[in-house]
Amino acid sequence: MTAPSWILTLDCADRPGIVAAVSGFLAVRGGFILDSQQYADLDAGRFFMRVEFNASREPFDTATLRREFAPLGEELGLRWAIADTSERPRVLIAVSKGSHCLNDLLHRWSTGSLGVEIAGVVSNHETLRGLTEWHGLPFELLPEGKEAQEAAILARVEAAGADYLVLARYMQILSPDLADRLAGRCVNIHHSFLPSFKGARPYHRAHERGVKLIGATAHFVTSDLDEGPIIEQAVERIDHRATVEDMIRIGRDIEAQVLARAVQWIGARRVFLNGARTIVFR
């Protein structure tokens, strides 16, 4: 069996001595650091740190760790969290009709490689009920009407104790109110043709323009449509031989991969919000 381990994440106004203070806190308690990453954003004057550790002596009690770390966190002005690595974040997935992102996430989850617990799936269509329930997860059809749909999503997030809402090709624009209520907790995926080819049939219009790169972006949702802090991106080069169907197929593959990586990194507590940007400790 793998020995228990914990993850400490923090960010704060940058100042000397933060790493030494954290390392010292762990050292006197018999903490053994397995992985440590830190970054100082000199422009913003903020410091970010992620430390994974286990116990070289008696195993830690998570509640005690948090209680004992709190005074140091207050002294240094930290925003911090300590979590047992067995405590996986819970996510609720929202979809419409496209199955590629959902199918990829469910497969990774079923094999234990996604790093999160999926609480269920909600959708504005019945199309993906069978796929969801085949994996043993609850599926909820959202009511008609934007206001009712968003109220149902919020209710499901709360009822499931979900830490994040993942939009796995949920083809609805969230209202500014819902985006604000889920700030830092809602992840979206979209093709890389924005803002050049907005709206319907983007691959057809990109093909007409002879684009040479296809890609995808995973980002946190904000009230500014598709402009939230970017978590992950990827591209693949194509040439004149690619048909519209080729482009759609390649685009779906990239979207699934990019979204999965973003969710995996969130599950491993590697993603930090930094204003309009993110810090991702890969």
For the annotated catalytic residues, the residue numbers are 226
* CB-based contact 35:51 (threshold 8 Å): yes
DSSP-derived secondary structure letter, 250: H
CA gap 220, 227 in Å, rounded: 8
**In the beta sheet, which residues pair with residue 11?**
48, 79
CA gap 56, 32 in Å, rounded: 6
Which segments of 14-162 are extended strands (E)? 31-41, 46-55, 79-84, 90-95, 117-123, 139-141
**In the beta sheet, which residues pair with residue 166?**
93, 187
Cα 268 versus chain centre, distance: 10
Tokens standing for residue 122: 């909600």
The dihedrals phi and psi of 229, each to the nearest 5 degrees, come to -55, 125
* CB-based contact 182:221 (threshold 8 Å): yes
CA gap 249, 246 in Å, rounded: 5
DSSP 3-state of 190: strand
**In the beta sheet, which residues pair with residue 54?**
5, 32
